[in-house]
Amino acid sequence: MPKGIVAIVGRPNVGKSTLFNRLCGERKAIVEDYPGVTRDRIYGESEWNGQVFTVIDTGGIVLKEDGPFLKETRMQAELAVEEADVIIFVVDGREGVTAADEEIAQVLRAKGKQIVIAANKLENATGHELWDFYSLGLGDVVRVSAEHGIGTGDLLDKVMELMPEINIPDYTGSIKVAIVGRPNVGKSSLLNNLLGEQRVIVSDIPGTTRDAIDVPFQFNNQNFVLIDTAGLRKKGRIWESVERYSVVRSLKAIDEADVVVHIIDLVEGVTEQDTKIAGYAHEQGKALIFTGNKWDLITKETGTFEKTVEEIKNKLAFATYAPITLISAKTGQRIIDLLQLIIQVNTEASIEAPTSRINEIIRDAMRMQEPPSDKGQRLRIYYATQSGTKPPRFTLFVNDPLLMHFSYERYLENRLREAFGFLGSRITLSYRARNEENAYKGRGKE
């Protein structure tokens, strides 16, 4: 679901990060450590009066680029400004307007964005100091102390007042599919083949697709929303600022998707970056399909198909539940099979298994293979129930969660898969003792 975006900008040492932490509080969800996301821009989540929005903390803007990383920091701040619906321009209320503030204000005015000035560090002031900042010509000024939390409510009231209405497309009943992968693996070619028209630019130049593009689509009376994203690439190779922004869009596309189609270049094989992309989708609990592209360029011999599938499976062994299909986005080979597979994994990710059947499977599994024991005490499973879908989650009530062994957990997962499928989805098992203080999440914990 689309959310409003608020960027916090200003020169160094005015309290931007303190304000960011204050606004996000316990809802903060930093994504800076994900592949390709610069540490100069930190994303978090906040909520005010029932409205959830994204907050971006930026490095301090220094317009005179005569120091290390200053150019990159300014570039990241400008990207945040471009992405934002509302900008919080943080200034030092004790110092008053500085030449650097005036230079930044001039840049912000040219952007044509909604702006509110947060005059920070005024916990002991009366508010008369605010008049100086109105000379910047950027609109309202709010007195705050990010460190002490003073005035942040007034600031958020003003931000919500400036926030534009966000149109949310009605995709009820549609399967949202994120097409992700490294640059130049054929994501846009696949989308164009599915649609039968040139909807996005196809080029052999990496990084051609800059933004995530949502395209409604129908196949066999099933509605889809296809999200074609810019290719994710290693941080060290992201030179253009627009590509840094595109990486964030790709990660957001995975967040919003029901099914992630991860395109792998069969000519180059699985790379380290493919592992990172798949790892992010796995950690987010998304239904996942590995799709090897450029099958038309592969020299075939007896067993080539099976060997190629096995190589992908071995290199992405943490997601053995994900089906693998080999296609040619250029010729259209097995494209229909991919669509049918998307429908299948989305359906199986949504399965709600009957509790009686779950417990029958667990009891049969215990009879076939005795639960593990430690120091004379054996694991007992009293009861099991499904606690969620997308991904499928199960809670097992046991005598002592610490007695659960990794190998037995894998054994139980396999029995559940044999019964219900869950193709393309990770299974999460959590354990609850009679004493709830001993509750424990197992290998598949989120």
Residues 299 and 421 grouped into a single domain: no
Residues 196 and 127 grouped into a single domain: no
- Cα–Cα distances (Å) from 62 to 72, 74, 87, 101, in that order, read 10, 7, 17, 10
Residues 209 and 155 grouped into a single domain: no
Structure tokens at 304: 């080539």
40-42-45 Cα angle (round to 5): 165
* Coil, strand or helix at 241: helix
167 is a domain residue: no
Is the pTM value of this prediction over 0.95?
no
Out of 28-32, 368-372, 440-444, least confident range: 28-32
Question: Given a cut of 80, is residue 237 above it in pLDDT?
Answer: no
Model pLDDT, residue 165:
78
- Give the end of a domain, one of 327, 349, 371: 349
CATH at 408: 3.30.300.20
Structure tokens at 435: 């004493």
Residues 240 and 328 grouped into a single domain: yes
CATH at 63: 3.40.50.300
196 is a domain residue: yes
Residues 259 and 293 grouped into a single domain: yes
- Give the end of a domain, one of 349, 365, 388: 349
Model pLDDT, residue 27:
43
pLDDT tier, 171 (very low <50, low <70, confident <90, very high otherwise): confident
Question: Given a cut of 80, is residue 127 above it in pLDDT?
Answer: no
Q: Per-residue pLDDT tens for 58-117?
A: 766 666 655 544 565 566 667 678 778 899 999 999 888 998 899 888 888 888 899 999
Task: Provide φ and ψ at 120, rounded to 5°.
Answer: -90, 165
297 is a domain residue: yes
Q: Could you report how far apart the first and last alpha carbons of the chain are, in Å?
A: 21
Q: Per-residue pLDDT tens for 69-86?
A: 456 556 666 767 877 889
446 is a domain residue: no
Residues 431 and 323 grouped into a single domain: no
Residues 259 and 407 grouped into a single domain: no
**Distance in angstroms (rounded) separating the CA atoms of residues 146 and 165:** 27
Q: How far is CA 302 from the centre of its chain?
A: 40
241 is a domain residue: yes
- Give the end of a domain, one of 333, 349, 365: 349
Model pLDDT, residue 53:
87
187 is a domain residue: yes
Q: Which domain holds residue 378?
A: 355-441
12 is a domain residue: yes
Model pLDDT, residue 212:
44
**Number of domains composing the chain:** 3
**Distance in angstroms (rounded) separating the CA atoms of residues 269 and 405:** 34
**Distance in angstroms (rounded) separating the CA atoms of residues 241 and 331:** 33
Average predicted confidence (pLDDT) for the chain:
81
DSSP states of 10-77: -STTSSHHHHHHHHHGGG----TTSTT--TTEEEEEEEETTEEEEEEEEPPP-SS--STTHHHHHHHH
Model pLDDT, residue 445:
38
196-198-200 Cα angle (round to 5): 125
Residues 131 and 204 grouped into a single domain: no
Q: What type of residue sits at position 182?
A: R
Q: Which residues contact 10 (CB under 8 A, 6 or more apart)?
A: 16, 60, 61, 89, 90, 91, 101, 104
Place of tokens 């203080």: 437
Residues 298 and 212 grouped into a single domain: yes
Residues 156 and 141 grouped into a single domain: yes
Residues 369 and 344 grouped into a single domain: no
Q: Which residue has the higher pLDDT, 353 or 244?
A: 353
168 is a domain residue: no
Residues 125 and 198 grouped into a single domain: no
Structure tokens at 290: 């590995």
